Amino acid sequence: MTPVTTVSGRAYPWGAKNIDTDVIIPAHWLKTITRTGLGCGAFETVRAQPGNIFDDPRYAGAPILIAGDNFGCGSSREHAAWALADMGITAVIAPSFSDIFSGNAFKNGIVPVVLPQEAIDRLLEVAQDQTVTVDLETMTVTTPFQDRFTFELDAFRRQCLMEGLDEVGLTLARDTQISNFEEAVASNRPWMTVESGYAGIGIEGDRRT
């Protein structure tokens, strides 16, 4: 996972409320088992409408999405986060998120920023023709007009995002401790190791008998 400390650039000033995961990525895209290519299907029904914001050249490649309340509700599909990431979105700013979507976003390197509606309204205005910056170091969202909005984020999630660590990365970061523990077990409790034969219970029969 790529580390995220600052996300800066144009932002999609959408602001739509109660956007569920079926709007983010329709169900017929869920047959894939890879995380790539889903950006083409992101917001498919919205993009079918003439003049939609996601096909507006002013926001092409925008790394930030400004949305409305209850973003990511509905199905728990992780493909929604995959689709956003694949289309280049690294931060979503909204008044609230579905808990499951927020967790999926975090696991895929997307920063879910919660701000009050007043801040969202201001950002929607500024984003029409200016950039927005999300800074995890200072925990702020700023604009060229000196707007400065602070947000909160779980300390563990913030650390993982800034260091680019997902579950696999967290495990690998503790490789030395895991290896030391396994060596200690092999030394102090040899009957628990695969080599002892007892770890094969259920494969070749219960060797304790």
Map out the domains of the chain as residue ranges.
6-164, 174-209
Here the tokens at position 26 are 């329709």
**Structure confidence at residue 83 (pLDDT):** 97
Cα 76 to chain center, whole Å?
13
Within its chain, how far is the Cα of 142 from the centroid? 21
Per-residue tokens: 27 = 């169900």
Q: Name the strand (E) or helix (H) holding 79.
A: helix 79-86
DSSP summary character for residue 65: E
Give the per-residue pLDDT at 182.
Answer: 72
Interatomic CA distance for residues 124 and 117, integer angstroms: 10
* Residues in Cβ contact with 157 at an 8 Å cutoff, skipping those fewer than 6 apart: 106
CB 161 within 8 A of CB 4: yes
Residue with tokens 């999300």: 134
C-alpha dihedral sign at 49, 25, 101, 147: negative
Measured in degrees and rounded to the nearest 5, phi and psi for residue 103 equal -65, -40
- Tell me: domain 6-164, CATH 3.40.718.10, correct? no
The total of other beta-carbon atoms located within 10 Å of residue 129's CB is 9
What whole-number distance in Å separates Cα of residue 120 and Cα of residue 129? 15
The token duo for 34 is 């890879």
Write the CB contacts of 85 (distance below 8 Å, at least 6 apart in sequence): 35, 39, 108, 109, 110
Residue 3 identity: P
Q: Mean pLDDT in runs of 10 for the chain (209 residues)? A: 96 98 96 89 97 96 98 95 97 98 95 98 98 98 98 95 78 69 76 58 44
Pick the closest to residue 86 from 114, 52, 63, 59 (CA basis): 63
